[in-house]
Amino acid sequence: MKTLLSLGHGYCARALARHLSDKGWAVIGTTRDPAKAEALAAEGVEPLLWHPEHGADLAPALARATHILHSASPTEGRDPFLTLCPGILKARPEWMGYLSTTGVYGDTRGDWVDESTPPVPARARSGDRVMAERAWLDSGLPVHVFRLAGIYGPGRGPFEKIRNGSARRILKEGQVFSRIHVEDIVQVLLASMAKPRPGAVYNLCDDLPSPAAEVLSHAAARLGLPEPPAIPFEEAKLPPLARSFYEECRRVRNDLIKTELGIELRYPDYRAGLAGILAAESN
């Protein structure tokens, strides 16, 4: 039986698991939260409680895994699984995917980047990602790195903020963000599993980098609600993490997933993606 071991079973991994379960795969997902473990079991995922400081032995799951997906963030500059589970290097999966971030490219002042662009991380957390990428690519495992732009999809996106009244349109001239619908992430992962190329690095984003304020305006219009209030970036009292996103600007190319993996994006821009979320809700 094909078996996916999902290290850090989060939003993207749960979407992938639904597709694999329909194909008869077994899915094992690690989590730190006992309550989440119960939810995973209800979804047909075999939960495995694991925490960097304690938790279950991963060896039995590694022995079963034909495929491994790693979604967990580095902790204090270290990859939790490489650091605390050295036995993972003895695993023999057919494929392994590491979910990283386009944040590794840093601030290009709006210029385009692709997979050949050297990472120049502007933040410590992005620097940790670069180190984790390199460590996994050097691990001897059949690793594929997927650099994800801003992730959105059902239950995660602008509609929730507009509906609960927390949305604000932050205005900063020239600022754009790349984004990717979770279902397009899933189809890239499935295509890579079917056509593995260990050592590959792929950017995952749609075709239209856009201002976040523009996306919020469109989402409000789709809901028939007023635009969220507009606030200049200089006046917005953003928490440090949110502010850091606005201090970087880049446009990300996605040509490689199209030419090498044959991907045709289901949601090539935010308009299509938001329409798809509403359609899913209505169903």
Strand 112-113 versus strand 46-51 pairing type: unpaired
Residue-range domain boundaries for the chain: 3-151+180-205+252-267
Question: Which DSSP string corresponds to 26-49?
Answer: EEEEEES-HHHHHHHHHTT-EEEE
CA distances from 148 to 52, 71, 99, 260, 278 (A): 24, 11, 7, 17, 23
Which tokens go with 45? 């995922």
Which tokens go with 14? 């749960």
- Count, in order, helices (H) and strands (E) of the chain: 11, 14
Strand 46-51 versus strand 26-31 pairing type: parallel
Terminal C-alpha separation, the chain: 32
What is Dmax (Cα atoms) for the chain? 56
Burial of residue 140 (CB within 10 Å: 0-12, 13-18, 19+) is exposed
pLDDT number for residue 55: 64
**pLDDT tens per residue across span 207-233:** 999 999 999 999 999 999 999 999 999
Is residue 105 within 8 A of residue 119, CB to CB? The reply is: yes
Which of 144, 159, 180, 160 shows the shortest CA–CA distance to 68? Answer: 144
**pLDDT tens per residue across span 159-203:** 999 999 999 999 999 999 999 999 999 999 999 999 999 999 999
pLDDT number for residue 251: 98
- Mean pLDDT of all residues in 129-144: 96
pLDDT number for residue 20: 98
164: helix, coil or strand? helix
Is residue 140 within 8 A of residue 199, CB to CB? The reply is: no
Question: Which DSSP string corresponds to 171-219?
Answer: E-TT--B-EEEHHHHHHHHHHHHHS--TT-EEEE--S--B-HHHHHHHH
Rounded (10°) CA dihedral 99, 96, 189, 121: 20
Q: What is the model's pTM? A: 0.96
Which tokens go with 9? 């079973």
**pLDDT tens per residue across span 83-103:** 888 889 999 999 999 999 999
- Provide, rounded to the nearest whole percent, the portion of the chain with pLDDT above 90: 90
Which of 22, 230, 262, 8 shows the shortest CA–CA distance to 132? Answer: 8
What span, in angstroms and rounded, lies between the C-alpha atoms of 127 and 103? 9
Q: Which CATH superfamily is domain 3-151+180-205+252-267 in?
A: NAD(P)-binding Rossmann-like Domain (3.40.50.720)
What span, in angstroms and rounded, lies between the C-alpha atoms of 64 and 28? 9
- For 246, how many CA atoms within 13 A lie in the half-sphere containing its CB? 20
